[in-house]
Structure 1
Amino acid sequence: MTLSFTRTLLSAAITGAFALTTLGAAADLSSRYTDDDGDMVADVPSDESQWVDPDTLVFAYTPVEDPAVYAEVWADFLEHLSEATGKEVQFFPVQSNAAQQEALRAGRLHIAGFNTGGVPVAVNCGGFRPFAMMAADDGSFGYEMEIITYPDSGIASVEDLQGRQLAFTSETSNSGFRAPSALLRSEYGMEAGEDFETAFSGSHDNSILGVVNQDYDAAAIANSVAKRMLARGVVNEGDFDVIYTSETFPTTGYGLAHNLKPELAQQIQDAFFSYDWEGTPLAAEFENSGEAQFIPITYADHWSVIRTIADANDVTYDCD
C-alpha cells in the first residue's frame, strides 16, 4: 500500500459542505428524551417503572462484511459480560447501520458499538449512552479517513476523481460519507453527482473489497478497518493505493440503551473496563489497528469534531 497524497482535514476548513437532510447526527436530542444534566445524552428515566432489566442482553457490533467472524471475535468478551451481569448475552449480527439504529430505537438492542458517524444518530434518535472506546496501551486512540483507489486506476490525487466513481459506505458514516463529503466540497469544490459519480457499499469492508476488485474506482474508508483486513490476509499490501489521509477521528463508541436499570448499566460498564484483553480473540483482532483496552469517553468531548463535520454537511434529522 503506497501513500501518494496526504493532507490534514481541519475542522475550520469544513465549511459550505453538502446540504443533506437525513436521519443523521444533530446537536439536540429527540423530544422522546430529556437531558437535564446537560451532557448531550439521554438521561436515565427518573421513573423506575420505565427501567428495563432483561433476562437476555443483546449486543451488536457495527456492521461488517462478515458478521460471523466478529461473533467469534467478541465471544470471550461476551462471556465475561455474562459473568459480570449474571445475564445471558446474545450477539446480534446486524447487516446495516439502519438495522442497528432501528433495533436500538425499538428496544431490541441493549449494548452496542456504533461506528463513529453513527454514534450521534444513536445518541439523538435512540437514546444511546456511549461510555467507552478502544485505545492503545498508552491511551492513544483514533483512526483516519482515507480515500483509496486500485493501482493503475489513473487516480493519483483527489483532483483525479473528476468524472470517476467514488464509493461511500452509508450516509450515517463519518469516514465513509460525512468527512469526505465535507472535504471534497470545501477543499476541492467537487459535488457528488456533478463532478464524480457515487455508490454506497454498506460497509468499509465492502468498499475496500470493491476497490481491490475494481468494482469502484475509489472509496472513502476508515483505515482501521483496512489494517485489520490486511492483518487477516483478506487483502494484501499493494492491492490499493491511498490518495488522501485525514486528521484522526474517534473510533467506534460503545454504550448502552438509556433505560437499562442503573445497577445493571453500572455492571455492564464495569465489565468493559475490567476485561483482560491478553490472549483473547478481541486482542488478536484489534491489535492490528493498535487497540488493546477500553477507555472511558464522553460524547460531549470526544465527538465534538464529528458534530462539527455534521454541521458542515447541514445534517438534520427527524426522529419523532
Structure 2
Amino acid sequence: MTHRTLIASTLIGIILFSTLAGCLDSEEDENVIIIAFKTQDDYQNPEANPQLLADFLAEKSGYTVELYPIGSDIAAIEALRFGHADIAFLDGGSAWIAWKQHGLDAILADQKDDGSTYYNAQAWVLNDSEIQTLEDLEGKNSCHTGWLKSAGMLMPMGYMINNGIVEVTGDENDISSLRTTIEAHFGNASIPEKGDLYYSYSGAFRCISEGVGDVAFGKSTSYQDHCEGNDWCLDRESYRPLEPAFGQVPSHP
C-alpha cells in the first residue's frame, strides 16, 4: 500500500464513521466532503497533486470530494472554524494551536513508509561550532523553520523552557510571548514566513550552512531529507546533531 493510499484509506473510514454518527449537517451536504489543502498551480511531482487524493476518495467512498484551497495552516484552521472545510492536514504545531484555541480535534497522524507516525525534533550545528550543549545556545543566532512550527519552534522551545534553559519573556499564557522569548534568548533569530529563503526544514538547514545562524531547529533526519543534494548543502561531516533530541512530533503530509 502506498503512502498516499494509506492516508486516503484512513480518511475513508473517518468519513464513513462521521456519516454514520450523524455528524453531517444536512441532506444537501451529506454527500460532499471538503478538504482544506495547500494547492499550487504546477506540481513538479504529479503524485503530490492533492486532486489525486480527492479523486481517489471520491472513487472509493462514493462521495463528492472537493478541495478548499488555502495558503497556510492558519488559513486551514479558519476554514475548519467557519465551516468552509470538513478536514484539513496540519503541521503538528498548528494542530496543537487548533486544539488549544478552538477546540478542534486531531483525528489521525500521517503514517510514513516505515510504519512510523512521528519524527524526532532535533537541533543541528556545524561540526566545528563551539556549541556543545543546549545551554550554549543563549545569545547565538537561531534558524527556525517558521512561526509556530512544531519541530522548528514549539518542540525545542517547549523543551528548553520546561527544563529551565530558557526563561519566558512576557505573559506565558499568550502565544505571542514565544516570539519575545526567542528574541530575548537568542542573538538574531530567523523566523521566516512562507516564501522566504530560509523557510521550512530545508531553509533552516540552509540558514546555518550559509553562516546566517549558529543552530538550526528541525528533524533528526533533516540532513538526508532536506539538505543533501542541494548546491548550498555542505558535506555530512560538516554538521552534527545537538543532543538531546526534543521529542517526537506527529507526522503530517
* TM-score when normalising by structure 1: 0.51
- Give, as a single letter, the amino acid of the residue that structure 2 aligns with 1:210: C
Q: How big is each residue's C-alpha offset from its partner over 1:31-80, in whole Å with a ceiling of 9 and x where there is no partner?
A: xxxxxxxxxxxxx887844984475733426x9xxx94677425443331
Which residue number in structure 1 is paired with residue 183 of structure 2?
A: 193
Q: 1:188 to 1:138 in 2, by over 3 A?
A: same
Aligned positions of 1:175-190 closer than 5 A: 175-187=151-163, 189-190=165-166
CA shift, 1:145, in A, is 1.0
CA shift, 1:147, in A, is 0.8
Q: How big is each residue's C-alpha offset from its partner over 1:1-25, in whole Å with a ceiling of 9 and x where there is no partner?
A: xxxxxxxxxxxxxxxxxxxxxxxxx
- Give, as a single letter, the amino acid of the residue that structure 2 aligns with 1:92: P
Which residue number in structure 2 is paired with residue 92 of structure 1?
A: 69
Contact 2:208–2:216 under 8 Å retained in 1: yes
Give, in whole Å, the separation in 2 of the partners of 1:100 and 1:224: 27
Contact 1:71–1:93 under 8 Å retained in 2: no
Partner of 2:166: helix, strand, or coil?
coil
Contact 1:68–1:93 under 8 Å retained in 2: no
Which residue number in structure 2 is paired with residue 106 of structure 1?
A: 82
Q: 1:159 to 1:250 in 2, by over 3 A?
A: closer
CA shift, 1:146, in A, is 0.7
Give, in whole Å, the separation in 2 of the partners of 1:226 and 1:50: 49
Which residue number in structure 2 is paired with residue 251 of structure 1?
A: 250
Give, in whole Å, the separation in 2 of the partners of 1:59 and 1:236: 37
Q: 1:100 to 1:204 in 2, by over 3 A?
A: farther
Q: 1:58 to 1:154 in 2, by over 3 A?
A: same
Runs of 4+ in structure 1 over 6 Å off: 44-47
- Give, as a single letter, the amino acid of the residue that structure 1 aligns with 2:242: I
| Residue 82 of structure 1 pairs with residue 58 of structure 2 | yes
Q: 2:98 aligns with which of 118, 122, 126?
A: 122
Aligned-pair identity (%): 18
Which residue number in structure 2 is paired with residue 73 of structure 1?
A: 48
| Residue 150 of structure 1 pairs with residue 149 of structure 2 | no
Alignment root-mean-square deviation, CA: 3.8
CA shift, 1:117, in A, is 1.8
CA shift, 1:142, in A, is 1.6
Unaligned runs of 5+ in 2: 1-20, 168-181, 194-199
Contact 2:34–2:66 under 8 Å retained in 1: yes
Give, in whole Å, the separation in 2 of the partners of 1:111 and 1:83: 18
Aligned positions of 1:6-25 closer than 5 A: none
Give, in whole Å, the separation in 2 of the partners of 1:135 and 1:93: 23
Unaligned runs of 5+ in 1: 1-43, 254-285, 287-320
Q: 2:108 aligns with which of 110, 132, 136?
A: 132
Contact 2:152–2:218 under 8 Å retained in 1: yes
Give, in whole Å, the separation in 2 of the partners of 1:185 and 1:129: 26
Q: 1:141 aligns with which of 107, 110, 117?
A: 117
Q: 1:250 to 1:185 in 2, by over 3 A?
A: closer
Q: Which has the higher contact order (CA 8 A, sep 6+)?
A: 1
